[in-house]
Structure 1
Amino acid sequence: MNSGGPGYPLASLYVGDLHPDVTEAMLYQKFSPAGPIVSIRVCRDIITRRSLGYAYINFQQPADAECALDTMNYDVIKGRPIRIMWSQRDPALRKSGVGNIFIKNIDDSIDNKALYDTFSAFGNILSCKVVCDERGSKGYGFVHFETQEAANRAIETMNGMLLNDRKVFVGHFKSRKEREVEFGTKVMKFTNIYIKNFGDNLTDEKLKEAFSAFGKTLSVRVMRDEKGRSRGFGFVNYAHHEDAQKAVDEMNGKEMNGKIIYVGRAQKRLERQGELKRKFDQLKQDRIQRYQGVNLYVKNLDDSIDDERLRKEFSPYGTITSAKVMTEAGQSKGFGFVCFSSPEEATKAVTEMNGRIVATKPLYVALAQRREERKAILTNKYMQRMATLRTMPSPIIDSYHQSGYYMTVPQPPTRSFYNHNAVSNVRPIPRWPGQPQRPQDPYSSHIVGGSFARRGSTTITTVKQASTQAPRIIVVPVSMVEPPVHILGPEPLTASMLAAAPPMDQKQLLGDRLYPLILAQQPNLAGKITGMLLEIDNSELLHMLESPESLKSKAVGLFRALYVVMYTMFVR
């Protein structure tokens, strides 16, 4: 395959038709034998973080990318054959349609690979796909050649040929706009009409007799089920469009066989479904506009409140067109809707009734919102909140990490005793990238979660970071030989110890002791919960360290709050 074709990066591949569970690690394991990889990215939804089913892989060398394309295309990952092609960041080539062909009436057994193998003889293929749904192949596909000449050769050779005993149509790709223009012209000159609601006693002969008066018919058919019984509809095909149009105008709404029949232009199922969808969407939009600003949502209703009581409570504020308490199995669900005749009345009702106690409960009253609107508003609020959190400074984490999230750096296994060479050479280093080193107290040393401080002359020690950064060379003062130090872990934190520590160290000391306790209770959200706890006053945090029950209660409350946020975002 020629890797120097126009319009795509030489070493970047697009990988499509991926299983939702495929990760970057799986793709690296699959493609790394082809050559060194610079980057892999599985594209995901910005809100749900679910895979969109495709990825981009950048190789160091174009030859390696070409090797992967030639040898791994249509290989199976997690039960699905993947589809590989050159990445084309400029959409002009795809949208132009140059070199793109359309194939229909494809047998169900032909997949992407079989179609690729069939058409690759005519030229270099940029992409090839059989269109499928959840039930399998939809019977058509597309092949995009690198040149228009290759596409023309494929059309001339393959159009009308048999593939798996089925005669296929192969032609130039046409955009939706071009197809709609052509389709509109055909619609204006239809000859096939559809008749329904004539009962189950009408035969082909009687149907032909009724409609042949309008012109020459080429075919007449009453549709029947497997037992030969009429399904109540049929088709009549005329030789001329004028005759078909006259039959529709004269017969639609007329009585036949004791029933009012419908007569109209015959439509394909997809066209009819699209037309019905457009009508439904228009009706839905009309209904939304009609109730915009006048429909109220009322919740926290007492179980004793019914439709009449709800109407009575809101009637002083205007003319009510409807009032409904939502029920299930005859029991109130605790919410309902009140619709006023004007937005001004609805606004007045919201102002007066929101928070008012009716029966035994305070009402919540607001303008009713569709689920899509409510979800969009909640999503927008969530994104704004996350953006604010990312920009807020945190005493625990620098700008490289999300504010409010406490992270621990894995420490290497420690021995019970360290000699002076192992201990005195190590100074506390920043826990996160970019965090400045703080000056050490010349009259004291601190041991915090495996970090140590010593004074003295200069030596050089290599300290391996927990991140992916390269090892850093740190100049550390070394003093006189000291006796071995026995490390037992962080000692209990007292108010005096906390007060003696610098302000920037106080949250660190608290976090080092809180995190292991939270980790034992909520391992999946320990970092987030610890970060949220550290926003509380230090005195209260000390009390939690001394009272495990108080800490557990607070952690459970924060966990529930996080769960509510996630539920609101991804379920509702």
Structure 2
Amino acid sequence: MAAVGTTASANLAQEPAAAAVVPQATAPLTNSSLYVGDLDREATEAQLFQAFSQVGPVASIRVCRDAVTRRSLGYAYVNYNSGLDPTAAERALDALNYVELLGRPMRVMWSHRDPSTRRSGVGNVFIKNLDAAIDNKALHDTFAVFGEILSCKVATEPNGRSRGYGFVHYEREESAALAIDKINGMLLEGRQVSVSPFVHRAERNAEGPRFNNIFVKELAPEVSSEQLRELFERHGKVMSALVAHDEEGRSKGFGFVTFEDPASAAAAVAELHESEQWGRRLYCARAQKREERDNLLRQKHEEARAERMARCAGMNLFVRNLSEDVDDDALRAEFAPYGTISSAKVMSEGGVSKGFGFVCFSSQDEATRAVTEMNGRMISGKPIFVALAQRKDVRRAQLEQQYAQRLAMGSAGATRGPLAGPGG
């Protein structure tokens, strides 16, 4: 992957913010706007200006940020002065799309502020079963031969790993139809890809999830794969049926059934889920990949955690600098004089205290009193710190706000140039 620019951009990440000052335009502004996505969260207007000003006269640059934390959202808008250079934005799109900034390839495309273009779905193609080696640029290069592409994106995990599917949005519906006709079923990097018209989530949900593979559990020990097949064959053509066994040949109590078509699979689940078979109440559901199950479990864990935090809001205390000999019971005993405690927990790893914990009271008044009385109290020879517990994102936002305020106070009176020119 190419890096931004040649010599001037070699030190892109080290340029100070003042480098983003844009010269005042001398001609009337008719901006050509580009959307720049997949940015590193540390990328600044200054660094983007250095990259995009190499192509033409930049009128303004804006990195979009969270309204509360002011952290970058990972995308920006770059506006060129088309009055001075009518083709600058088009050249930047050609020259800088997928070029690296701070080690990450930028995704550059025309800015469509009118959401109707994006939401219409016209010209939008969905590609699945992509090899992990195919990134945004490789996908773009493959599909660009069929027409003008408005946007191209491979879906990724937070760690950057491909999720095996992506989207290409064409300017013209005819280009999308041609791409589907030519690429669907082809081998890309050794894998046969599926290419189809994009269907909005709302429409997919209205139809219900489509699947061929079924996960079955609560099977009696004596049930064989052939018996499992016979049970499900009443609902359609079964391609395979397998009961899982351990190394000694004993049933693990679950199995998988694959139908030829999704309609049969859906009918089987509707009919057999929680039905009595071989003296057991069966569980039947769409088979999920391990990654999908892990994501679902993670989501449920986060929802349960958020629910606990909401239930204990204003009543849950964070206690740190605990001695290693302070356990759950000792922590509860120390705070018991201040009210009714619903839970007291010292966090540990491998049976060793991590030096902090949480105490949840039944009322906010009790929690407030405990903070007042216990903060700084000596326990087992160490002064403890006690405060109301906060979610990580709330605490991070407060710390960042305090840091920004200190920076503002420290630079009071200093003159700093703007990061962007008119229209930013």
TM-score of the pair, normalised by structure 2:
0.66
* Structure 2 Cα separation of the partners of residues 124 and 104 of structure 1: 21
User: Counterpart in 2 of 1:102?
Assistant: 126
**CA gap 1:195/1:81 in 2 versus in 1, 3 angstroms:** same
Q: Are the counterparts in 2 of residues 75 and 81 from structure 1 also a CA contact under 8 Å? A: yes
Amino acid of the structure 1 residue aligned with 2:283: V
Which residue of 207, 211, 214 maps to 1:193? 214
Which residue of 229, 235, 255 maps to 1:234? 255
Q: Displacement, 1:142?
A: 1.8
**CA gap 1:271/1:254 in 2 versus in 1, 3 angstroms:** farther
Summarize deviations over 1:167-190 as a string: whole Å, max 9, x none: 543333222222222225x5xxx7
Q: Are the counterparts in 2 of residues 42 and 54 from structure 1 also a CA contact under 8 Å? A: yes
**CA gap 1:140/1:221 in 2 versus in 1, 3 angstroms:** same
2:151 is the counterpart of 1:127: yes
Q: Are the counterparts in 2 of residues 106 and 140 from structure 1 also a CA contact under 8 Å? A: yes
Amino acid of the structure 1 residue aligned with 2:288: K
Q: Determine helix, strand or coil for the equivalent of 1:249.
A: coil
2:305 is the counterpart of 1:281: no
Q: Are the counterparts in 2 of residues 295 and 337 from structure 1 also a CA contact under 8 Å? A: yes
2:242 is the counterpart of 1:222: yes
User: Counterpart in 2 of 1:177?
Assistant: 202
Q: Are the counterparts in 1 of residues 274 and 282 from structure 2 also a CA contact under 8 Å? A: no
Q: Displacement, 1:127?
A: 1.9
Q: Are the counterparts in 1 of residues 77 and 111 from structure 2 also a CA contact under 8 Å? A: no
Q: Are the counterparts in 2 of residues 12 and 56 from structure 1 also a CA contact under 8 Å? A: yes
Amino acid of the structure 2 residue aligned with 1:297: F
Q: Displacement, 1:341?
A: 4.1
Q: Are the counterparts in 2 of residues 296 and 337 from structure 1 also a CA contact under 8 Å? A: yes
Q: Are the counterparts in 2 of residues 40 and 57 from structure 1 also a CA contact under 8 Å? A: yes
* Structure 2 Cα separation of the partners of residues 263 and 68 of structure 1: 55
* Structure 2 Cα separation of the partners of residues 339 and 68 of structure 1: 56
2:81 is the counterpart of 1:56: no
What RMSD in Å do the two structures reach over aligned CA positions? 4.8
* Structure 2 Cα separation of the partners of residues 354 and 166 of structure 1: 61
Amino acid of the structure 2 residue aligned with 1:318: G
* Structure 1 Cα separation of the partners of residues 242 and 115 of structure 2: 48
Structure with greater Cα Rg? 1
2:37 is the counterpart of 1:12: no
Amino acid of the structure 2 residue aligned with 1:96: S
Structure with the bigger RCO (C-alpha within 8 Å, sep 6+) is 2
Q: Are the counterparts in 2 of residues 207 and 220 from structure 1 also a CA contact under 8 Å? A: no
**CA gap 1:35/1:385 in 2 versus in 1, 3 angstroms:** closer
2:113 is the counterpart of 1:89: yes
Q: Which one has a larger percent strand, Structure 1 or Structure 2?
A: 2
Amino acid of the structure 2 residue aligned with 1:56: V
User: Counterpart in 2 of 1:6?
Assistant: none
User: Counterpart in 2 of 1:263?
Assistant: 283
Q: Are the counterparts in 1 of residues 317 and 389 from structure 2 also a CA contact under 8 Å? A: yes
2:88 is the counterpart of 1:67: no
Q: Determine helix, strand or coil for the equivalent of 1:174.
A: coil
Amino acid of the structure 2 residue aligned with 1:127: S
Q: Displacement, 1:79?
A: 6.0
Amino acid of the structure 2 residue aligned with 1:205: E
Gaps of 5+ in 1: 1-8, 256-260, 391-401, 408-431, 434-466, 469-572
Gaps of 5+ in 2: 1-29, 419-424
**CA gap 1:11/1:103 in 2 versus in 1, 3 angstroms:** same
Q: Displacement, 1:128?
A: 2.2
Q: Are the counterparts in 1 of residues 31 and 80 from structure 2 also a CA contact under 8 Å? A: no
Of residues 63-72 and 150-159 in structure 1, the stretch that sits farther from structure 2 once superposed is 150-159
Amino acid of the structure 2 residue aligned with 1:208: R
* Structure 2 Cα separation of the partners of residues 331 and 106 of structure 1: 45
Matches within 5 A, 1:131-530: 131-133=155-157, 134=159, 136-156=161-181, 158-160=183-185, 167-183=192-208, 186=210, 192-196=213-217, 203-208=224-229, 211=231, 218-222=238-242, 232=252, 233-237=254-258, 239=264, 241-251=266-276, 263-269=283-289, 272-273=293-294, 275-299=296-320, 310-324=331-345, 335-354=356-375, 364-382=385-403, 389=409, 402-403=411-412
Q: Displacement, 1:203?
A: 4.8
**CA gap 1:342/1:56 in 2 versus in 1, 3 angstroms:** same
Q: Determine helix, strand or coil for the equivalent of 1:178.
A: helix
* Structure 2 Cα separation of the partners of residues 43 and 58 of structure 1: 17
Q: Determine helix, strand or coil for the equivalent of 2:215.
A: strand
**CA gap 1:253/1:318 in 2 versus in 1, 3 angstroms:** farther
* Structure 2 Cα separation of the partners of residues 333 and 277 of structure 1: 23
Q: Displacement, 1:65?
A: 2.5
Q: Displacement, 1:110?
A: 4.4
TM-score of the pair, normalised by structure 1:
0.52
Amino acid of the structure 2 residue aligned with 1:183: G
How many pairs are equivalent? 379
Amino acid of the structure 2 residue aligned with 1:276: L
User: Counterpart in 1 of 2:8?
Assistant: none
Q: Displacement, 1:331?
A: 7.6
Summarize deviations over 1:413-464 as a string: whole Å, max 9, x none: xxxxxxxxxxxxxxxxxxx69xxxxxxxxxxxxxxxxxxxxxxxxxxxxxxx
**CA gap 1:375/1:199 in 2 versus in 1, 3 angstroms:** farther
